[in-house]
Structure 1
Amino acid sequence: GRSPIHHAVLYGDSQTTRLLLDMGIDVNTPATDGRTPILLASIEGHADIVDILIEHGCHINHVYFSAITPLSVASDRKHYKVIQRLLDAGAD
């Protein structure tokens, strides 16, 4: 299952994402499948959500299934705005 933060991120709802994080939701909370909000935002190409998650201190180099990172999925899907934001924040 997914929590409200995961649903907000998946649907690109920046207002709800920011509200939940401002209320104290952990920015790095994984869904039951292990995917974190930053990974989901990178998969979906939601650059504005990526910015919000970075502002709230997410782990931008989170590794999913031993090799998948937010930067790698954004690159695979050619989400150039997300790639730039991740690189600007120090992703590798």
Structure 2
Amino acid sequence: MTGSNDTRGKANANRPDQQSVDDQRHDQGPPGSVNDSSLPSPERIQELLFEAARIGRDDMITPLIDAGADLEAHDIKGHTALVLATYNGHESTTGLLLELGAAADGDTVSGSPLMGVCFKGHLRIAKKLIDAGADANQRNSAGQTPLMMASLFGHRDIIDLLVSNGADLRAIDAAGNDAVSLARAQGNEEMASWLLELGP
């Protein structure tokens, strides 16, 4: 099967992995007022938003937005605050970012926020994103869909959610793989058979 051997490598590339948090978040956190003369630089404010999203610091999110941080900005790896929160499993932070206007389908280097959630298996966060309008068929740069990610890593509950929200079971990525072939590439014949039963 063409391209299946490197699919998992692509899925792991550019992941918004949780990073260590330095002590600066304690003594350089967002000020209580956006008029504070000690306000950090715009660049630092943006960095703090990414860090807050990555570690699930809900208390920092709104003050940072009020101080000028951009919800749709990308960090050095190409990820938005929403991608960082969703990938790292922070459900309440995800909800807050969506309430503040973060785009559920925001396009990043790793695809949509839903793509990373399906990779990691965060069902409740996947539901939040779909409820907020996330497209179950949005593709990443390799032509992969959220359902392909869920199939690759065996997340049946997420597959059920995606299919019930219009995910295409027969979509094919740029390397010629569909969800069934991706499951088989991981040696998961049970998943592959189940996917075939789901299909038309």
Q: TM-score range by the shorter chain?
A: 0.7 to 0.9
Paired with 1:4 and 1:34, the residues of 2 have a C-alpha distance of: 15
Which residue of structure 2 lines up, in the alignment, with residue 44 of structure 1?
A: 153
Which residue of structure 2 lines up, in the alignment, with residue 77 of structure 1?
A: 186
Deviations 1:12-55 (A, max 9, x none): 00111111112211100011222110111111111111111111
Q: What are the residue-to-residue correspondences of 1:1-92 with 2, within 5 Å?
A: 1=109, 2-65=111-174, 67-90=176-199
Task: Name stretches of at least 5 consecutive residues in structure 1 with no aligned partner.
Answer: none
Amino acid at match of 1:77: Q
Check 1:32–1:65 CA distance in 2 against 1; reply closer, same or farther (3 A cut).
closer
Contact between 1:50 and 1:85, CA under 8 Å: does it hold in 2? no
Amino acid at match of 2:160: D
Contact between 1:34 and 1:64, CA under 8 Å: does it hold in 2? yes
Q: Which has the larger radius of gyration?
A: 2
Structure with higher RCO (Cα < 8 A, 6+ apart): 1
Task: Name stretches of at least 5 consecutive residues in structure 2 with no aligned partner.
Answer: 1-108
Number of equivalences: 91
How far did 1:80 drift? 4.2
Contact between 1:51 and 1:85, CA under 8 Å: does it hold in 2? no
